[in-house]
Amino acid sequence: MTRSLIVEADGGSRGNPGPAAYGTVVRDAVSGAILAELAEYLGEATNNVAEYRGAIAGLAFAHQIDPEAVVEMRLDSKLIVEQMSGRWQIKSPDMRALALQARSAFPPGQVRYTWVPREQNKRADALVNEMIDGALQRGLSTIRRVDGAPSEDATAEDVVGGIDVERSRIVAEERDTARPRTTMIGWADLGRPTVTVLARHGATALSLEKRFSGRGGLDAPLAPIGVAQAEALAEELSHREEFTRIVASPLLRTRQTAAIVAERTGLQVEIEDGFAECGFGEWDARTFIEVREQWPDALEAWLASTDVAPPGGESFAECRDRVEAARQRVVERYAGERILVVAHVTPIKILVGLAVDAPLTSLFRMELPPCSLTTLAWFADGNSSMFSFAEAAHLRAAPVPDGT
């Protein structure tokens, strides 16, 4: 009887490109038993490279178990599933080389690629983060857990290695301690935090018409009402605790908003590219209804997974990695300061999710009016806290149209 195996694979990069790793889990399809958990640190790489490497490693191990097996490859990367299934072209030479490696593991027809939501790929995703944490904190390079004992097959050992019990124990401890110890904010002295006061830019003509407006598309200026909102924001901030600097996204609407505030404070506006709005590609400047009519399948996939990007655009997962890298740069560069960050809907929602440890899908459940204020604190020990969200009382004199 032909054996059936399931390979769950994932890869991740903190910074995209940045420190990267893959994680892959091999299961028996009938019993569901885990036969192997494999992970490897890749140094600096992109998310896509790491995801492909995870698929390749899982297929290589599955082949060592049974070259005749039928394999279901499960990934939360829509890109790889579509490319490996032959429905999407592979334009990058580097990606084509990785795809060829994956295809060479088994004869045609023995491997089926299935997209799954990230929630159903948690174990592989956890391996990725465990591996990156272990590499950055302890210099570890691999995790190999093979069915409770080292493989007896010398060739398989070359591919996946044996189990190092002490290393697995250390990595598990690192996984448990990588996240900062939970602390009741205000009940313990965590030191002086770096405070980011996040301001969304004022309204533009695109936002007033509820059109997609991201980086790489039409760089829309503030509408007259957006200027009024920015002036109300500047007035409000003039009565609050002083901040030491202003950091803004490179897009025009954020720079204009920041400039109006800077005029009241005398501070210079610094630009941080990582805080730019998510890229919406071909959907830019179109309404949701227009997108639904022209790209119904792509829109459905985008709404179903934060790993899926609009055509020619950027996924929310990719945007999160970029925003998190920018946050780290700002917090490290200006530790202990109070900083005004003028940004966009998506980056601000992402930063809120990071601060309160909410899943990325939480951004679908937040609303941020133009020129609203959200305050987050980032402590040196890794803890963080939200002190306010979407404050907008200062905009009474500059009415905010619904949904802008």
Give a yes or no: residue 400 inside a domain.
Answer: no
Nearest CA-CA partner of 323 in 10, 12, 11, 14? 14
The C-alpha atoms of residue 41 and residue 20 are separated, in whole angstroms, by 6
Domain co-membership, 373 together with 253: yes
213: domain CATH number?
Answer: 3.40.50.1240
Domain co-membership, 173 together with 200: no
Domain co-membership, 214 together with 356: yes
Question: What pLDDT, in 10s, does the model give residues 221-257?
Answer: 999 999 999 999 999 999 888 899 999 999 999 999 9
Question: What pLDDT, in 10s, does the model give residues 305-320?
Answer: 899 999 999 999 999 9
Alpha helix positions (H), 204-304? 205-208, 224-238, 252-265, 288-294, 296-304
- Split into its structural domains, the chain has a count of 2
Domain co-membership, 99 together with 147: yes
Give a yes or no: residue 183 inside a domain.
Answer: no
Q: For residues 35, 305, 133 and 71, what is the CA-based torsion angle, rounded to 10 degrees?
A: 20
Give a yes or no: residue 281 inside a domain.
Answer: yes
Q: What phi, psi does 74 have (nearest 5°)?
A: -110, 125
Among 178, 203, 228, the domain boundary falls at 178
Question: What pLDDT, in 10s, does the model give residues 119-177?
Answer: 899 999 999 999 998 888 888 889 998 864 333 332 332 333 333 333 334 444 444 44
Give a yes or no: residue 187 inside a domain.
Answer: no
- Write out the residue range of the structural domain in which residue 20 sits: 4-178
Q: Does pLDDT of 330 surpass 70?
A: yes
Question: Whole-model pTM?
Answer: 0.57
Please provide the average confidence, as pLDDT, over all residues in the chain: 87
Q: What is the mean pLDDT of residues 260-274?
A: 94
Q: Does pLDDT of 346 surpass 90?
A: yes
Q: What is the DSSP letter of 230?
A: H
The C-alpha atoms of residue 349 and residue 16 are separated, in whole angstroms, by 19
Domain co-membership, 373 together with 226: yes
Domain co-membership, 224 together with 369: yes
Domain co-membership, 16 together with 112: yes
The C-alpha atoms of residue 225 and residue 392 are separated, in whole angstroms, by 15
Give helix 316-333 / helix 345-356 axis angle, nearest 10°: 70
Q: What share of the chain is helix, strand, coil (3-state, %, to 5)?
A: 45, 20, 35
Question: Considering the chain, what percentage of its residues have pLDDT values greater than 70?
Answer: 87
Domain co-membership, 241 together with 368: yes
Query: Which residue type sits at 386?
Result: M
For residue 17, whether the previous peptide bond is cis, meaning omega lies within 30 degrees of 0, is yes
Give a yes or no: residue 186 inside a domain.
Answer: no
Domain co-membership, 328 together with 200: yes
Domain co-membership, 351 together with 214: yes
Q: Is-contact 330 196, C-beta < 8 A?
A: yes
Name the least confident of 10-24, 108-122, 159-173, 206-220: 159-173
Out of 40, 174, 201, 272, which one is annotated catalytic? 201
Q: What is the mean pLDDT of residues 28-36?
A: 90
Question: What pLDDT, in 10s, does the model give residues 94-107?
Answer: 888 899 999 999 99
Contacts of 203 (CB under 8 A, 6+ apart): 222, 223, 225, 226, 229, 370, 400, 401, 404
Question: What pLDDT, in 10s, does the model give residues 347-395?
Answer: 999 999 999 989 999 999 999 999 999 999 998 878 899 999 999 999 9
Give a yes or no: residue 156 inside a domain.
Answer: yes
Question: What pLDDT, in 10s, does the model give residues 53-75?
Answer: 999 999 999 999 999 999 999 99
Q: Does pLDDT of 24 surpass 90?
A: yes
Give a yes or no: residue 350 inside a domain.
Answer: yes
Among 178, 202, 220, the domain boundary falls at 178
Q: What phi, psi does 5 have (nearest 5°)?
A: -125, 155
Out of 8, 174, 231, 277, which one is annotated catalytic? 277
Give a yes or no: residue 184 inside a domain.
Answer: no
Q: Is 344 a catalytic residue?
A: no
Domain co-membership, 215 together with 167: no
The C-alpha atoms of residue 403 and residue 186 are separated, in whole angstroms, by 34
103: domain CATH number?
Answer: 3.30.420.10
The C-alpha atoms of residue 186 and residue 193 are separated, in whole angstroms, by 12
Domain co-membership, 15 together with 132: yes
Q: Give how far the C-alpha of residue 287 lies from the chain's centroid of Cα atoms, to the nearest Å.
A: 25
Q: Is 201 a catalytic residue?
A: yes
